[in-house]
Amino acid sequence: MDYFLLLTPVVVAIVLVLFRFVGCGASISGGSTNDEYDVEVLRDEPISYWRLQEPPGSTTAADAAGLVNGTYGTAPSPLSAGPPAVRSTAVNPTVVQVGLTDLPLLLNKPAGEPSETSVRLHGGFVQVPFRGPLNPPEFTLEAVVFPEWDLSTLGKFYCVVESSSPKLADPSLIKKLGYAIYGGPDDPNDPASPYHWQVWVGTGDAFVRWTEKTPYAVPVNEKGEPNPGPAVVPLPTYLAVTYDGATATLFMYTEDRDFDFVKYELNMVPYSAAGLADLFIGISGPGRRALFSPPGPNQFLYPFHGRMAEVAIYDKAVSEDRVVSHIGSAFHR
End-to-end CA distance of the chain: 35
Task: Please tell me the predicted confidence (pLDDT) of residue 192.
Answer: 86
Which of 254, 69, 36, 291 is closest to 145 using CA atoms?
Answer: 254
Which of 314, 294, 264, 330 is closest to 82 using CA atoms?
Answer: 294
- d(Cα 84, Cα 35) in Å, to the nearest integer? 46
The backbone region for 45, taken as left when phi is positive above 0, alpha when psi lies in -120 to 50, beta otherwise, is left
Looking at the chain, how many residues does it have? 333
Label residue 296 by pLDDT band (50, 70, 90).
Answer: low
- d(Cα 57, Cα 141) in Å, to the nearest integer? 27
Percent of the chain with pLDDT over 70: 88
Task: Please tell me the predicted confidence (pLDDT) of residue 293.
Answer: 75
Task: Please tell me the predicted confidence (pLDDT) of residue 19.
Answer: 39
Task: Tell me which of 325 and 332 has the higher pLDDT.
Answer: 325
Of the ranges 27-31, 114-118, 174-178, the best mean pLDDT one: 174-178
Query: How would you write 88-145 as a 3-class SS string?
Result: CCCECCCEEEEEECCCCCCCCCCCCCCCCCEEEEEEEEEEECCCHHHCCCCEEEEEEE
Q: Is the pLDDT of residue 107 over 70?
A: yes
Express each pLDDT in 132-164 by its tens digit.
Answer: 999 999 999 999 999 999 999 999 999 999 999
Which of 54, 51, 76 is closest to 64 using CA atoms?
Answer: 51
Domain boundaries, the chain: 26-331
3-class secondary structure, 207: strand
3-class secondary structure, 235: coil
The dihedral formed by the CA atoms of 135, 141, 143 and 149, expressed in degrees to the nearest 10:
80
Express each pLDDT in 22-41 by its tens digit.
Answer: 443 344 444 445 689 999 99
Percent of the chain with pLDDT over 90: 77
CATH of the domain spanning 26-331: 2.60.120.200
Label residue 295 by pLDDT band (50, 70, 90).
Answer: low
- d(Cα 35, Cα 18) in Å, to the nearest integer? 19
Task: Please tell me the predicted confidence (pLDDT) of residue 6.
Answer: 41
Task: Please tell me the predicted confidence (pLDDT) of residue 33.
Answer: 54
The alpha carbon of residue 205 and the mean position of all alpha carbons in its chain are separated, in whole angstroms, by 24
Segment 172-200 mean pLDDT:
93
Label residue 196 by pLDDT band (50, 70, 90).
Answer: very high
Please report which helix (H) or strand (E) contains residue 71, including its range. Answer: strand 70-74
Task: Please tell me the predicted confidence (pLDDT) of residue 173.
Answer: 83
Label residue 288 by pLDDT band (50, 70, 90).
Answer: confident
Please report which helix (H) or strand (E) contains residue 315, including its range. Answer: none
pTM: 0.90
The dihedral formed by the CA atoms of 266, 269, 275 and 280, expressed in degrees to the nearest 10:
-30
Q: Average pLDDT of the chain?
A: 89
Segment 312-333 mean pLDDT:
95
Label residue 322 by pLDDT band (50, 70, 90).
Answer: very high
**Beta strand spans in 206-321 (E):** 207-210, 237-243, 248-254, 263-265, 279-281, 305-314
